[in-house]
Structure 1
Amino acid sequence: MTESTRELVIVGVGSAPFDALLEILEDRKTVTPGQLKLVIEDEADVDPQVFANRSVAVTPLKDFVFTPDQVVLLLTGGELATAALAQAEQAGAWVVDAAGITRGDESVALIHPLLNSAELNQSDESDRKVIAVPGAGAAMIAEALYPLKSQLQSVEVVLNQPVSALGKASVDAAAAQTARLFNGQEPDVDEGTGQRLAFNHLSSAEALLESGHSFSELALVLELRRLLGEGVALDATINTASVFHGQLANLSVQLNTEQPLDTVRGLLSNGARLEMCERPSAQDAVGSENTLLGRLRTGLVSPRQVIFCAASDNLRKDVAINCVQIVHLLLKTH
């Protein structure tokens, strides 16, 4: 089976990262229009999508046939993704879960294309052909911390995520609320969060668990632990900022031993897809294929404490590009 005869199936047309994903697939010529298949919910009504100047039909799940020659990319959660995962896996296709529906399932490998893609070549016939992609926040933070991996004792994360991290519906809700506020009208409360998204900063966009954490915070810790190692103590807080795209995290790192700040800066500067700057911002990161790092300083609590921030394009870089890189590897070598 040659790479050119295989197909990429995308489940999640119209999801938040969908447009960026199609753009990158086209720019990198990962697949041709003939290799691209798009799947939607049975009751959905979606127009054909344009890819590489060709019209690509959108097929309801009930009418779609999965085959072993496909790589199936899940961009959205819910019943559609769950059903597609089951059908694709039964058919023998590779499945890339970028929607988090297999989160916490130890039988599913968590793959970051820059950090541990070699694990794809270590699978055997008894392993599931299902791969999970880290969430955007975990992907960015793991990249930022990876050059310090051997030195990490503990990490405290404060992630300021944009409304696009909550999905396309939240982006639309924030846009509508912004328009109403600019017109002197009281905006509707967002149904998903129960709060206003426009011109607001949420301490949590979801209900809190008994521990006081949100599910997303514990999921972030779980994914970072799988990527960085069980020996690193981790805690996380996720806020939602009133911006559409671009995420920024403040990282407080406790090292095993005291290190000169210049040594830490040198390690970070040489990290894959990392770019040092004085004062990173989410706006500067949007459209970039790098994670911006800055505000590096020694903490006041301990001489082994290092504090810095990381910013990135959550949809384009940390979801779409990572997915395209994994899809390329699967189409080419598996």
Structure 2
Amino acid sequence: MGFKVAVAGATGNVGREMLAILEERGFPVSEVVPLASRRSIGQEVSFGDKTLKVKALENYDFSDTDICLMSAGGTVSKEWSPKIAAQGCVVIDNSSAWRYDSDVPLIVPEVNADAITGFTKRNIIANPNCSTAQLVVALKPLHDRFGITRVVVSTYQSVSGAGKDGMDELDRQTKALYSMKDPEQKKFPARIAFNVIPHIDVFMEDGYTKEEWKMNVETKKILDPKIKLTATCVRVPVFIGHSESVNIECEKPISVKEATELLRQSPGLLVVDKHEDHGYSTPLDAAGEDATYISRIREDATVKNGLAFWCVSDNLRKGAALNAVQIAEVLVNRKLIKPRAKAAA
């Protein structure tokens, strides 16, 4: 017997990716229900070779639904996730609304799957920020072996991290510039076409942005509260795929050879590291792929027990939709939930 799964925010970039990944991975569904706001009622989305009509989140009865993959934004999640959870449906939320709640587990299955048992407190599980997800997958094996004490990370984040509006703005500005027209600027605080912007989310009192704060707090919650992390988050004119330049400092001696072999053997990672032209991964290589790619592994001689590497991942997949589906798979595989009696056959 399969599980009845609702996807809230089904018409957005991540929602559509969730539907695609559920089908790709053969998740045991009895029924899939796409949900969105009222203005999207009747809109069609794809699930494998099926075409599904979108229903309104506001009017939907979750009493016979097992899992809700929530990708409708933080404001919607704050209002609806507790209501959905109260009806016995487990919410896996992609927004930042519940990540910092001590009663809500923040899960990356390759890193801290065991923490998922805490979901029963609120019936909600949080997905981390896209830039955090790929980072902690890479850090986990290195931390377990060498004891990471400090991380310095600079991100190169694609416009899809800002949703469809971000992708549309890059497309629109690029076309305008090639046509010798003034590019219209709406979504980003500066022109994104042929530019980079060291500003993602709002600024905080200490000068860091909220995106940088998220990476720090989430890494501590998922991996280890003792790790010190500083981040600089930058938006770049790439459609899909986040890249990160990462420097770590460890308690124990770490060699490039040992670290490379360890990363090659670790789940969710793919090492592409040759000292030659295109002997490394780019966002284009990672787009549409599940793995987090690791390249440019080298010693950081500026600190004791230091290592530097390059990390690339599809932010719509591992950074959002894939991770959410993997969380659902953990729930099912560990028998933490069962199909409800009313679920459609």
TM-score after normalising by structure 1: 0.91
Cα deviation, residue 78, structure 1: 4.3
Question: Distance in 2 between the 1:197 and 1:148 partners?
Answer: 34
Structure 1 stretch displaced more, 235-244 or 250-259: 250-259
Structure-to-structure mapping, 1:138-217, within 5 angstroms: 138-150=132-144, 151-190=147-186, 192-217=187-212
Residue 53 of structure 2 is aligned to residue 52 of structure 1:
no
What SS class does the counterpart of residue 302 from structure 2 fall into? coil
1:107 to 96, 103, 107: 103
Structure 1 stretch displaced more, 62-71 or 252-261: 62-71
Structure-to-structure mapping, 1:1-16, within 5 angstroms: 2=1, 4=2, 6-16=3-13
1:63 to 55, 59, 64: 59
What SS class does the counterpart of residue 294 from structure 1 fall into? strand
Q: What is the letter of the counterpart of residue 55 of structure 1?
A: T
Distance 1:308 1:43, change over 3 A: same
1:27 to 5, 24, 27: 24
Cα deviation, residue 68, structure 1: 5.5
Matching residue of 1:251: 246
- Paired residues in the alignment total 327
Residue 126 of structure 2 is aligned to residue 132 of structure 1:
yes
Unaligned runs of 5+ in 1: none
What SS class does the counterpart of residue 99 from structure 2 fall into? coil
Structure-to-structure mapping, 1:210-289, within 5 angstroms: 210-278=205-273, 279-289=280-290
Question: Distance in 1 between the 2:139 and 2:210 partners?
Answer: 22
Matching residue of 1:117: 113
Cα deviation, residue 331, structure 1: 4.5
Distance 1:114 1:16, change over 3 A: same
Identity of aligned residues (%): 25
Kindly indicate whether the alpha-carbon contact (under 8 Å) linking 1:205 and 1:240 is maintained by their aligned counterparts in 2.
yes
Kindly indicate whether the alpha-carbon contact (under 8 Å) linking 1:247 and 1:312 is maintained by their aligned counterparts in 2.
yes
| Residue-by-residue CA offset, 1:126-172 (whole Å, 9 max, x unaligned) | x2211001121111000111111132111111111101111121111
Matching residue of 2:298: 297
Distance 1:231 1:214, change over 3 A: same
Structure 1 stretch displaced more, 91-100 or 14-23: 14-23
Q: What is the letter of the counterpart of residue 77 of structure 2?
A: A
Structure 1 stretch displaced more, 229-238 or 110-119: 110-119
Q: What is the letter of the counterpart of residue 149 of structure 2?
A: Q
What SS class does the counterpart of residue 106 from structure 1 fall into? coil
Distance 1:184 1:82, change over 3 A: same
Matching residue of 1:317: 318
Question: Distance in 1 between the 2:37 and 2:289 partners?
Answer: 32
Cα deviation, residue 256, structure 1: 0.7
Structure 1 stretch displaced more, 100-109 or 243-252: 100-109
| Residue-by-residue CA offset, 1:268-298 (whole Å, 9 max, x unaligned) | 2222121222222111211222111121111
Q: What is the letter of the counterpart of residue 251 of structure 1?
A: V
Question: Distance in 2 between the 1:314 and 1:286 partners?
Answer: 8
Residue 32 of structure 2 is aligned to residue 36 of structure 1:
yes
| Residue-by-residue CA offset, 1:21-61 (whole Å, 9 max, x unaligned) | 222212222255x6111221234455122323323221112
Question: Distance in 1 between the 2:36 and 2:48 partners?
Answer: 20
TM-score after normalising by structure 2: 0.89
Kindly indicate whether the alpha-carbon contact (under 8 Å) linking 2:155 and 2:243 is maintained by their aligned counterparts in 1.
yes
Q: What is the letter of the counterpart of residue 206 of structure 1?
A: D
Structure 1 stretch displaced more, 227-236 or 316-325: 316-325
| Residue-by-residue CA offset, 1:296-322 (whole Å, 9 max, x unaligned) | 111231242111111111112332221
Q: What is the letter of the counterpart of residue 264 of structure 1?
A: A
Cα deviation, residue 327, structure 1: 1.9
Question: Distance in 1 between the 2:12 and 2:320 partners?
Answer: 12
Question: Distance in 1 between the 2:265 and 2:119 partners?
Answer: 33
Cα deviation, residue 112, structure 1: 0.9
Cα deviation, residue 124, structure 1: 8.0
Distance 1:94 1:68, change over 3 A: farther
What SS class does the counterpart of residue 116 from structure 1 fall into? helix
